[in-house]
Amino acid sequence: MKAFVLERYAKKNPLRLTDIPEPTPGDWDVLIEVHAAGVNRLDSKIRDGEFKLILPYKPPIVLGHDVAGVVRSVGQRVKKFKPGDEVYGRPRDGRIGTFAEYIAVNETDLAFKPKNLTMEEAASIPLVGLTAWQALIERAGLSKGQRVLIHAGSGGVGTFAIQLANHLGCTVATTTGASNIALVKSLGATFVIDYKSDDFENCLSGYDVVLNSLGSDILTKSLGVLRTGGTLISISGPPDVAFAREQGLNFILRQVLRVLSVGIRKQAKAHDITYSFLFMHASGSQLQKITSLLESGVIKPVVDRMFSFEDINEALSHIETGRAKGKIVIKIL
């Protein structure tokens, strides 16, 4: 089969289109013919080597964290899916590789594709949808009447998280550029701060939750908009000790992450705020709950651009600009 392979870690190193063996599904696996794949900033960060200490990948590897496609075969112990089913999902860490014509995925990482979405729309959802779900519902326990600040509201995670928080009955504030204000308001944001002309920390206060996907300066400033006892969740780092334990990292790496996160942890503690780093995990069961929101029209996919399979490197370059509105998707079939 054809696949785009990362042959070595290097910044902006192009992936190479080549032929590799088609994967053989294990007993619990589903072999998927990939119709579309989402592109995430995580893919370019892995390519650049930013996660090589904490993610178990040794090049050559195939990147890609979102998939939508058709089941071609299933392992002996698979019960939920059968050949011909349309599915979507985020393969678990260690088993990524959706930038290819086929991928074998554990059945627990998959859900049935929403009936009202195209393959391309479905492929835009898994990673960002699960990230927003796990941050706002699983980690923050967000509930009706609370106030949440979602940074970078026009990005992949932001466009989904705004809709989810709005559905939960929360007041949503977000940061974005002037050209994206109408978009984020249409998704459910009540307060929109143009990051180029206003300082969000001077505009907001008393918030219950902040979801950060930006740099360390934004993370620190976010402490000031939270109420006492509030929750600060970052998907861009720094990773904390709890994450190191979850990943099963060795003692040395645990100490490295302890040092990297000590500043924000101390500042959060001084403000009586809970800080945590979230690195989302695959979950077909959570994705199935997200499916119901998609099929009911409560949440709608936001797709910035679609690229052909041959243009994956161009798609990665585009996502690095930080100007995408929503998700970037690769059309494979």
Chain segment 157-189, per-residue pLDDT in tens: 999 999 999 999 999 999 999 999 999 999 999
CATH topology of domain 127-277: Rossmann fold (3.40.50)
pLDDT at 56: 78
CA distance 184 to 15: 33
CA distance 289 to 13: 37
pLDDT-derived band at 247 (thresholds 50, 70, 90) equals confident
SS3 at position 148: strand
The pLDDT of residue 54 is 85
pLDDT of residue 246: 86
Q: Is residue 53 over pLDDT 90?
A: no
Reduced to 3 DSSP states, what percent helix, strand and coil does the chain have, rounded to the nearest 5?
A: 35, 25, 40
Strands 226-234 and 274-277: parallel
pLDDT tier for residue 241 given thresholds of 50, 70 and 90: confident
**In this predicted model, what pLDDT tens digit does every residue of 138-154 receive, in sequence order?**
999 999 999 999 999 99
Q: What pLDDT sits at residue 39?
A: 98
Per-residue model confidence (pLDDT) at position 12: 93
What pLDDT is stored for residue 154 in this prediction?
A: 98
User: Length of the chain, please?
Assistant: 333
More reliable by pLDDT, 251 or 81: 81
Query: What average pLDDT does range 20-49 have in this prediction?
Result: 97
pLDDT of residue 274: 96
Q: Tokens for 234, please give them.
A: 């970052």
Per-residue pLDDT band for 332 (boundaries 50, 70, 90) equals: very high
3-state secondary structure (DSSP) of residue 165 = helix
pLDDT computed for residue 119 by the predictor? 98
Find where tokens 């195939």 sit.
Answer: 62
* Cβ neighbours around 227 below 10 Å, total: 16
Compute the distance between CA of residue 15 and CA of residue 1 in angstroms, rounded to an integer: 16
Q: Of residues 270 and 246, which shows the higher confidence score?
A: 270
Does 3.90.180.10 match the CATH number of domain 2-125+301-331?
yes
**End-to-end Cα spacing for the chain:** 13
What is the rounded average pLDDT of the residues 103-130? Answer: 98
Question: CA-CA distance, 265 to 286, in Å (whole number)?
Answer: 29
How much is the pLDDT for 114? 98
**DSSP label of 176:** E
Residues spanned by CATH 3.40.50.720 within the chain? Answer: 127-277
Q: Judge whether 54 and 39 are in contact, CB under 8 Å.
A: no
Residues of the chain within CATH 3.90.180.10 domain(s) are: 2-125+301-331
Find the mean pLDDT for residues 228-248: 92
- pTM equals 0.97
- Mean local confidence (pLDDT), 242-254: 88
In this prediction, residue 125 carries a pLDDT of 98
Mean pLDDT of the chain: 96
Predicted confidence at residue 318, as pLDDT, reads: 97
The vertex-70 CA angle with 298 and 28, nearest 5°, equals 100
Segment 34-63 mean pLDDT: 94
Task: Look at residue 240 in the predicted model and tell me its pLDDT.
Answer: 87
- For position 237, what pLDDT does the model report? 86
Residue-wise pLDDT for 273-320, tens only, equals: 999 999 999 999 999 999 999 999 999 999 999 999 999 999 999 999
Q: Are strands 327-331 and 303-308 parallel, antiparallel or unpaired?
A: parallel
